[in-house]
Structure 1
Amino acid sequence: MMPSFFIAHGAPLLAIENNNYTKFLNQLGQDLPRPKAVVLFSAHWVSETQMVSRVDQYSTIYDFGGFDPSLYTIQYPAGGNHDIAQEIEELLTKNGISFQNETTRGLDHGAWVILRMLYPNADIPVIAMSVNPMLAPEEQYKIGKALSVLRTKDILIIGSGGTVHNLRALKPTDNGEADSWAVEFDDWLSQSLQNWDLPSLFKYASLAPNAQLAVPPYGNEHFVPIFYAMGAADNDRKATLLHRSFRYGNLSHSVWQFG
């Protein structure tokens, strides 16, 4: 059975960097069994209703500004898959989850930055999915759980975001050191995930140390993809931390495997 993943997409510059994290993601793509398709929940696609892509071929969205000009020349022309999108819609319907189709939107950098490192040839179909940070974590988990059967069909489910993501707290220089408050939050999260402690995880905002710094209310869209990815492995409750590092003092680069 294919595992599901939560993968941090970091800052846009990650797309052109060569560091331990990018090397890890490159290797991860080679180590995993080749998936039939990738279903990806991106922190940069926020909507009140669950959106499901029905795109033949994706354009590349540059949803950032002021970065190295070379970033704006990157293309990731992955194709979609209407049959798998249809299956996703049927699973959502079966579980009482409302949704809408999206037929024109391209892949945002929350999607293509990591997909390009995992599968640089853009030759694996992608079904892009939105996230709703206004939902309760239980409901986000439920959406992922509704799609768990896809893992038995060699379909890879990814939540893309960041466990610690507070742009206002980032440091202008990167000396390789991590702020203690970020590490404390991530340590709490790590223990809770490995214990599959859903009651605590669903109340992370009040229980986790430094939660308001690590996951500010105005930026929780980067944290919540972890619940979609985790829910997709509800029938195989195992969480494994494959990589963790920090940039700019507190921006987390973490990869969690579920299942």
Structure 2
Amino acid sequence: MWQAGNPSQTLQRTPYIGFASSSSSVLKRRSTPNFICVCKMGGVEKITETFFISHGTPRMSIDETIPARHFLEEWQEKVYSKRPRSILVITAHWETVVPTVNAINHSDLIYDFGGFPARMYQLKYLAPGAPDLAKRLQELLAASGFECAVDRKRGLDHGSWVPLMLMYPEANIPVCQLSVQPRLDGIHHYNLGKALAPLKAEGVLIIGSGSAVHPANNTPGCLDGVAPWAAEFDYWLEEALTAGRYEDVNNYTTKAPNWKTAHPWPEHFYPLHVAVGAAGENSKAELIHRSWDHGTLGYASYKFTSS
């Protein structure tokens, strides 16, 4: 339970409950390898892209039938071939009143889900923490007028470690997490991203980890393809992003069709706003993956290239 007077306290929500089974439907689209643009700057590789990744179900950590798993396993080969100095993950599974970073030396895992096979709770991802990056985040957010709290105990939740164990199985790149603020709006998170933009020039890979479409757990699945309401929202999002209508995305509750079903709670959408803000208002968006679970849980993922 959240209590006033403790701005860094994590907001409590029921842990992610798994489906009894997993079925996937993929919308095919022609794709080519997407290589990130990296420039040398004072000995540090300047990254010009940010990413939004739909991490979907925690079952992706063990289920080879989920198409998004293969997309993430091919990350270094087809999406991002360079090694970042460190990784910042804005995770949907850490909800706080004010922006909060974890400043730890070693990344313990949080198994913040229930109803899954026992072996998932034995998985490990021993990436180093990034306390220096956490300090830098504090500086940047303070300079932009944001209050920022620090958590010196919190490990990686599954919004971070599940995709990262597939993208970077070597677990040798320092990782820092940043929380989302579900009581605030998309504009807040977009501006949060803008404040973090200088990190790209310092070799930090910024990844928003959420879900493009994330309905309530009790939403009926679609056995025949993709639910129409989900497809309509998902394609609205793609069109708005690739057309550069970031203001529409920031104000999605007045612009997007079926938004309340696609995101009954906003925490899985807000990491996208941070990734867009960090890329910049003139950045170019590209859809780099799309697939579905049960025809309702959307795995669309995007690359944002700064101008």
Q: Same fold per TM (> 0.5)?
A: yes
Aligned to 1:85: 134
Aligned to 1:74: 123
Aligned to 1:196: 244
Find the residue that maps to 1:168 and give its secondary structure: coil
RMSD: 1.4
Deviates more, 1:41-50 or 1:159-168: 159-168
Tell me, in whole angstroms, the C-alpha distance in 2 between the residues paired with 1:30 and 1:44. 27
Which AA in structure 1 matches 2:157?
Answer: D
The one of 216, 220, 229 aligned to 2:275: 229
Moved over 6 A (4+): none
Aligned to 1:180: 228
Q: Are positions 1:212 and 2:257 aligned together?
A: no
Alpha-carbon displacement from aligned partner over 1:46-83 (angstroms, at most 9, x marks no partner)? 00111011100011111011111110010112111222
Q: Is the 8 A contact 1:59 1:107 kept in 2?
A: yes
Aligned to 2:68: 21
Q: Is the 8 A contact 2:91 2:271 kept in 1?
A: yes
TM-score, normalised to structure 2, is: 0.80
The one of 80, 84, 100 aligned to 2:149: 100
Mark the CA change 1:170 to 1:7 in structure 2 (over 3 Å): closer, same or farther.
farther
Tell me, in whole angstroms, the C-alpha distance in 2 between the residues paired with 1:199 and 1:12. 31
Q: Are positions 1:169 and 2:219 aligned together?
A: yes
Structure of larger gyration radius: 2
Q: Is the 8 A contact 1:2 1:156 kept in 2?
A: no
Q: Is the 8 A contact 2:212 2:301 kept in 1?
A: no
Mark the CA change 1:5 to 1:176 in structure 2 (over 3 Å): closer, same or farther.
farther
Q: Are positions 1:134 and 2:183 aligned together?
A: yes
Alpha-carbon displacement from aligned partner over 1:171-196 (angstroms, at most 9, x marks no partner)? 2xx75711111000011111111122
Aligned-pair CA distance for 1:235: 5.6
Q: Is the 8 A contact 1:54 1:81 kept in 2?
A: yes
User: Which structure dedicates a bigger proportion of its chain to helix?
Assistant: 1
TM-score, normalised to structure 1, is: 0.94
Aligned residues: 255
Mark the CA change 1:235 to 1:190 in structure 2 (over 3 Å): closer, same or farther.
closer
Q: Are positions 1:251 and 2:300 aligned together?
A: no
Deviates more, 1:69-78 or 1:199-208: 199-208
Tell me, in whole angstroms, the C-alpha distance in 2 between the residues paired with 1:125 and 1:28. 17
Q: Are positions 1:110 and 2:153 aligned together?
A: no
Unmatched 5+ stretches in structure 1: none
Which AA in structure 1 matches 2:243?
Answer: N
Q: 1:48-59 to 2 correspondence within 5 Å?
A: 48-59=97-108
Mark the CA change 1:55 to 1:194 in structure 2 (over 3 Å): closer, same or farther.
same
Aligned to 2:208: 159
Tell me, in whole angstroms, the C-alpha distance in 1 between the residues paired with 2:167 and 2:224. 24
Q: Is the 8 A contact 1:29 1:117 kept in 2?
A: no
Which AA in structure 1 matches 2:284?
Answer: K
Tell me, in whole angstroms, the C-alpha distance in 1 between the residues paired with 2:122 and 2:70. 21
Aligned to 1:150: 199
Which AA in structure 1 matches 2:102?
Answer: S
Which AA in structure 2 matches 1:134?
Answer: R
Tell me, in whole angstroms, the C-alpha distance in 2 between the residues paired with 1:101 and 1:224. 20
Q: Is the 8 A contact 2:241 2:249 kept in 1?
A: yes
